[in-house]
C-alpha cells in the first residue's frame, strides 16, 4: 500500500521539527536551514522532472526504447516521483516549523532532455546521482545530529533510486563503485543549474557550468572535449580533473590530453588552472584554481545481465534480451584476420570443387554448381565477419553527460546499445 505524500509528510515532519535547535537564528542553525532549503529545491526539481516525463511518454514510447512493456519502467518512475515529492513536503514542513519560509518560486525546464524515453532515462541517472552527491556533500554543513540523521535517511533512498536507474540503463553497473562522490552545493548547481527556468535564488553561488562536446562513444581511451562560458579560445595551461568515488584525489591531466582512463561508473570532471589534484572531500577541496564544472559522465564499461533482463529487450516487442559489443583490432591483427579469412575462402572453394567432381558421376552438374556456390557463400560470410571485427568502434555524442552508442558502421549509421546520455 502506498501512502500519499501529504500523509507521509505529516508523519515524518515531527522527526525533523523536533531537531530544531533552541536558537534557530544562530550561526549553526543558519547552516542547517540553508542546507534544508537547498535540499528542498533539489527535491522539487527531481519531482517535477518525473512528473513531466510521466505525463509526456506513453507505453508505445517505452516499447520503442527497448522495453517489451512499459510496466517495469512505469512503476519505478512513478515510485521515484512519489518519493521525491514526499521528501520535498517533509523538508518544507520542517522549515516552516523552524519559522522559515521554503523556496517555492523556482521553475524548471526539461524540454531538451524529454525528447524521448532513452534521453529521459539517461538524464534521470544524472539527476539521481547528483541528488546522492548533494546530500553527501551537505552532510558537513549540518550542525544538528538529528537533522543530519534525517538528511541521511533521504540520502539512502536517493542511492536506491540511482541503483534502479543504473539497472534500467541496461549498459550500466547496478552498483559501479564501493563509494559515492560528494559535491558541494556550488558544484551541484553547476550540473543542475541548467534545468532552472529563470532566476532561482537559493542563497548559494553556482560554479560555471561545463559540458562534454564529444561526438561518439565515450569510454577508456576517449579524448574528451568541453564547452563552457568560462573557457576562452585558448586552453593552454588548463587541466581536466576526474573525480571518482573512493579515490583520495582526482586524476589530473592537461586539458589537451584529457583521456578517459580504464574506469567504470560516474565521474565528476572539473577544469582547473593548475594540475594540483583536487582532494576528494568537500571540506578541503580547493576552489581558487577552479575554472568550470563539474560535469557528470557515466563511463559504462561493465554492463550486467541484470540490466538487460530488466530492460526486457533491445528491440520493440521482443522478450529476448540482446547485447551488442565491439572489438578494436590493431592493424597487424586486422591483416591477419583478413588473410585467415582469404585462406579459408580458398580452402573451402577447393574442397567444394573436389567434392563436386567426385559427385558428378552420380549427380547432375547443377548439384555440383549449387555445392560450389554454397561453399563460396560460407567462406565469403567468414571473410565478412572477420572484416567487421577489424572495424574499430566509433564514438557517440555526449553533451553534459554520457552517451552509450557502441559503434558506427561504414555507411555512417550508428548502432545503439542502452540509453542515450544528455
Cα distances from 227 to residues 232, 254, 294, 413, in angstroms, run 9, 16, 12, 26
Q: How far apart are CA 94 and CA 19, in angstroms?
A: 9
Q: What is the pLDDT, as a whole number, of residue 268?
A: 98
**C-beta of residue 307 within 8 angstroms of C-beta of residue 166:** yes
Catalogue all structural domains in the chain, each as residue range(s) with its CATH number.
30-312+329-346 (1.20.1260.10)
Residues in the chain, overall count: 422
At 120, list the grid cell: 529521459
Residue 315: count other Cβ atoms within 10 Å of its Cβ: 12
Tell me the per-residue pLDDT of 313-360, one tens digit each, with 9 for 90 and over: 443 333 333 333 344 445 565 556 555 555 544 554 454 444 444 444
pTM score of the predicted model: 0.70
Residues paired with 295 in a beta bridge: 269
**pLDDT interval class at 310 (50, 70, 90):** confident
Tell me the per-residue pLDDT of 399-420, one tens digit each, with 9 for 90 and over: 333 333 233 333 333 333 333 3
Tell me the per-residue pLDDT of 123-161, one tens digit each, with 9 for 90 and over: 999 999 999 999 999 999 999 999 999 999 999 999 999
**C-beta of residue 41 within 8 angstroms of C-beta of residue 188:** no
**C-beta of residue 403 within 8 angstroms of C-beta of residue 396:** yes
Q: Where are the alpha helices (DSSP H) in 58-116?
A: 59-64, 71-97
Q: How far apart are CA 322 and CA 320, in angstroms?
A: 6
Q: What is the pLDDT, as a whole number, of residue 171?
A: 87
Q: What is the pLDDT, as a whole number, of residue 335?
A: 57
At 87, list the grid cell: 521528501
**C-beta of residue 184 within 8 angstroms of C-beta of residue 137:** yes
Q: What is the pLDDT, as a whole number, of residue 170?
A: 83
Q: How far apart are CA 70 and CA 110, in angstroms?
A: 21
Amino acid at each position: 500500500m502506498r501512502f500519499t505524500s501529504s500523509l507521509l509528510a505529516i508523519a515524518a515532519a515531527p522527526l525533523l521539527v523536533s531537531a530544531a535547535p533552541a536558537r534557530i537564528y544562530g550561526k549553526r542553525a543558519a547552516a542547517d536551514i540553508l542546507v534544508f532549503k537547498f535540499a528542498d529545491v533539489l527535491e522539487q526539481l527531481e519531482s517535477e522532472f518525473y512528473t513531466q516525463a510521466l505525463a509526456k511518454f506513453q507505453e508505445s514510447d517505452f516499447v520503442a526504447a527497448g522495453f517489451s512493456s512499459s510496466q517495469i519502467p512505469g512503476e519505478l518512475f512513478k515510485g521515484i516521483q512519489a518519493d521525491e515529492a514526499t521528501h520535498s513536503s517533509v523538508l518544507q514542513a520542517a522549515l516552516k516549523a523552524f519559522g522559515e519560509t521554503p523556496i517555492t518560486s523556482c521553475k524548471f525546464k526539461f524540454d531538451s532532455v524529454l525528447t524521448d524515453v532513452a534521453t529521459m532515462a539517461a538524464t534521470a541517472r544524472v539527476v539521481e546521482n547528483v541528488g546522492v552527491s548533494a546530500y553527501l556533500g551537505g552532510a558537513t554543513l549540518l550542525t544538528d545530529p538529528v537533522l543530519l540523521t534525517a538528511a541521511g535517511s533521504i540520502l539512502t533512498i536517493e542511492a536506491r533510486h540511482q541503483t534502479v536507474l543504473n539497472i534500467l540503463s541496461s549498459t550500466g553497473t547496478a552498483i559501479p563503485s564501493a563509494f559515492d562522490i560528494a559535491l558541494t552545493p556550488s558544484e551541484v548547481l553547476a550540473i543542475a543549474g541548467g534545468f532552472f527556468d529563470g532566476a532561482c535564488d537559493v542563497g548559494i553561488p553556482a560554479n560555471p557550468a561545463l559540458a562534454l562536446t564529444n561526438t561518439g562513444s565515450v569510454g577508456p581511451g576517449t579524448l574528451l572535449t568541453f564547452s563552457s562560458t568560462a573557457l576562452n579560445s585558448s586552453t593552454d595551461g588548463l587541466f581536466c580533473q576526474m573525480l571518482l568515488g573512493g579515490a583520495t584525489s582526482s586524476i589530473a591531466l592537461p586539458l589537451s590530453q584529457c583521456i578517459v582512463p580504464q574506469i567504470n561508473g560516474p565521474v565528476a570532471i572539473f577544469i582547473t588552472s593548475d594540475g594540483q589534484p583536487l582532494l576528494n572531500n568537500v571540506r578541503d577541496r580547493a576552489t581558487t584554481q577552479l575554472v568550470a564544472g563539474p560535469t557528470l559522465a557515466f563511463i559504462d564499461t561493465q554492463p550486467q545481465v541484470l540490466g538487460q533482463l530488466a530492460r526486457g529487450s533491445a528491440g520493440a516487442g521482443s522478450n529476448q534480451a540482446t547485447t551488442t559489443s565491439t572489438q578494436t583490432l590493431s592493424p597487424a591483427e586486422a591483416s591477419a584476420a583478413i588473410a585467415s579469412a582469404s585462406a579459408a575462402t580458398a580452402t573451402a572453394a577447393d574442397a567444394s570443387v573436389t567434392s563436386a567432381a567426385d559427385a558428378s558421376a552420380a549427380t547432375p552438374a547443377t548439384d555440383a554448381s549449387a555445392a560450389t556456390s554454397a561453399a563460396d557463400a560460407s567462406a565469403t560470410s567468414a571473410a565478412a565477419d572477420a572484416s567487421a571485427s577489424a572495424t574499430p568502434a566509433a564514438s557517440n555524442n555526449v553533451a553534459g553527460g554520457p552517451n552509450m552508442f557502441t559503434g558506427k558502421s561504414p555507411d555512417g549509421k550508428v548502432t545503439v546499445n542502452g540509453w542515450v546520455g544528455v
